[in-house]
């Protein structure tokens, strides 16, 4: 299974470095939000971001659809055009 970065033909080193926890932890909240927004715009209708309504505001702001787990699974099943589904869930 390819990641979005791999599918978009980003350099292999960039892909590997982008997933390193220490690199992610160095980013500001604003920079992370900007990266999410740019990726979301680039992927367009190919991606749907689902946000559980218990999720934090800084995460839920990026969601295309919000609701409880059941509502989100129903809505995701209807998005047959989406290649990628990002589920921002919660842990109980």
50-61: per-residue pLDDT in tens? 999 999 999 999
| Token digits of residue 53 | 């309504």
Going by pLDDT thresholds of 50, 70 and 90, the confidence category of residue 22 is confident
Which class does domain 4-88 fall in?
Answer: alpha beta
> For the chain, how are helix, strand and coil distributed in percent, rounded to 5?
50, 15, 35
User: Is the pTM here over 0.75, yes or no?
Assistant: no
**What ranges do the domains of the chain cover?**
4-88
């Amino acid at each position: 299974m390819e990641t979005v970065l791999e599918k978009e033909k980003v350099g292999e080193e960039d892909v590997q470095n982008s997933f390193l926890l220490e690199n992610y932890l160095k980013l500001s909240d604003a920079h992370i939000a900007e990266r999410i927004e740019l990726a979301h715009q680039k992927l367009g209708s190919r991606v749907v971001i689902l946000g559980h309504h218990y999720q934090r505001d800084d995460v839920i702001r990026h969601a295309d659809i919000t609701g409880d787990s059941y509502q989100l699974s129903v809505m995701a099943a209807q998005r047959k055009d989406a290649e990628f589904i990002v589920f921002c869930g919660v842990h109980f």
